[in-house]
């Protein structure tokens, strides 16, 4: 195994976004573990991805086992399950990087920005895990329609989180997923990134589309 390859667990990975990220990372050579509350659903999702990839490189486990086995843990759970998930895996993720994809959407008004008392879902996760487990927020503004497949994605990913080195590592994983990532600063800035998702959902509804995203301009040629 090359040193750049990671063992990545995607918790709540049976949803479309989790499977899309899993597909792209597995194609790039990472070992991907799909986690779920129900083992059968995790195994089914892993089988689906392996059939798409043409290799048996993705495995399914329950969330706790997946978090234990992984080097990097990715949370793709609905916000309603976010706090309980973080509290449930706190011991398994200790000392690992957690990539939080969660957005604090509060139905039915999902087009209205509604941030939690901690400031953002990612800050909520960081508060629960403690400073030994750095949380990095990413992928909130990417529609899953972009991920399940091999087409080029014309949207960028803003990466915020605890520790510059951790953000750089996650930007590398963003690039492995075929996307462009930007260091958007400390975890406090995740408030803006997570809130942007509600705006994009509103644009989708208003204009009858499914994949509104963001693009950073003006710095592509800056070294």
What does pTM read for this prediction?
A: 0.95
What is the enclosing helix (H) or strand (E) of 207?
helix 190-207
Tokens 């080195």 locate to: 165
Going by their DSSP bridges, the two strands 156-161 and 72-75 should be labelled as: unpaired
Domains of the chain (ranges; CATH) run 7-207 (3.40.50.720)
Please state, in angstroms and rounded to a whole number, the distance separating the CA atoms of residues 28 and 169. Answer: 15
Mean pLDDT of 95-123: 96
Q: Give exposure, 83-97, as e/b (b: 16+ Cβ within 10 Å).
A: bebbebbeebbeebb
Q: How confident is the model at residue 150 (pLDDT cuts 50, 70, 90)?
A: confident
User: Above 50 in pLDDT, residue 165?
Assistant: yes
């Amino acid at each position: 195994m090359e040193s750049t390859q990671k063992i990545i667990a995607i918790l709540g990975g049976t949803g479309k976004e989790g499977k899309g990220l899993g597909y792209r990372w597995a194609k790039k050579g990472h070992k991907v573990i799909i986690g779920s509350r129900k083992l059968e659903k995790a195994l089914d999702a892993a089988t689906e991805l392996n059939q798409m990839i043409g290799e048996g490189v993705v495995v399914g486990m329950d969330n706790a086992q997946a978090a234990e086995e992984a080097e990097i843990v990715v949370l793709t759970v609905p916000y309603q399950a976010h706090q309980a998930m973080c509290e449930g895996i706190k011991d398994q993720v200790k000392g690992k990087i957690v990539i939080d994809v969660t957005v604090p959407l509060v139905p039915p008004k999902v087009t209205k920005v509604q941030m939690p008392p901690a400031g953002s879902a990612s800050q909520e996760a960081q508060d629960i895990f403690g400073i030994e487990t750095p949380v990095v927020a990413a992928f909130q503004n990417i529609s899953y329609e972009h991920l399940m497949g091999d087409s080029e994605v014309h949207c960028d990913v803003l990466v915020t989180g605890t520790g510059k080195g951790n953000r750089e590592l996650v930007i590398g994983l963003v690039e492995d997923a075929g996307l462009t990532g930007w260091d958007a600063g400390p975890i406090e800035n995740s408030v803006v990134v997570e809130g942007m998702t509600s705006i994009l959902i509103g644009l989708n509804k208003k204009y009858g589309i499914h994949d509104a995203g963001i693009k950073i301009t003006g710095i592509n040629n800056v070294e």
